[in-house]
Amino acid sequence: MASALQHVQDIHDALDARSEDYAKFIPLFGSRDQFGFVRLRDDLDDQSESIGTHVVIIDRAQLAPAWRGLGGVGRLLTARLLRWVCTDPRLVTVLPFPIDLDRALLKDNSIFEPALERVRRTWAALGFRPTIGQLWIMDPADGTHHNAITQIEKTLGIERSAPTA
């Protein structure tokens, strides 16, 4: 989901109406500014270097098993999808969670905790960092995400093509 902050009347209602999962992202947002635009929380707003007007919320990301363990292919696909979804986001956020686990296994900490750590490592490898509670954010302008993608492309032997006019 990507929404321009100025197009959302009430961020709390908008997220809560989508689902309980989206409501978990409400703590990222503060009040409206003098122009009526929804703002990020002051601490996030101060930390963010990006000047975009959209916040991208990643609700779920799932990679087919055949594409896993290939040295970063899934991370590269995720990064490229993010660029496709929103070319200039203010912030990208995710709630890392091992969605592939059976519900019965979620209560078994010996299985859940390592699975959660793997998911967190994946998001961290894309430049995401923990921020509020269990939410992780990525500021596209701080360079960490770009550097991570460049490293994955290098590892996979993929050369970036020059932009075309």
Q: What is the pLDDT of residues 50-66, one digit of tens each?
A: 888 888 999 888 888 88
User: What pLDDT shows up at residue 159?
Assistant: 74
Beta bridge partners of 38: 32
**pLDDT in the model for residue 161:** 56
- The structure's pTM equals 0.83
Query: Is residue 26 in a domain?
Result: yes
CB 54 within 8 A of CB 4: yes
> How far is the first Cα of the chain from the last one, in angstroms, to the nearest whole number?
29
| Inside any domain, residue 141 | yes
Number of domains in the chain: 1
Domain assignment of residue 119, yes or no = yes
- Distance CA(10)–CA(5), nearest Å, equals 10
Would you say residue 90 lies in a domain?
yes
Any domain includes 101: yes
Residue 30: both structure tokens together: 């503060």
Let me know if residue 84 belongs to a domain.
Answer: yes
2 found inside a domain? no
Q: What pairing do the DSSP bridges indicate for beta strands 89-94 and 29-32?
A: unpaired
Which residue has 């995400």 as its token pair?
145
Mean pLDDT of 84-112: 86
pLDDT > 90? residue 114:
yes
Domain that holds residue 91: 15-156
What the block records as the tokens of 137 is 């954010």
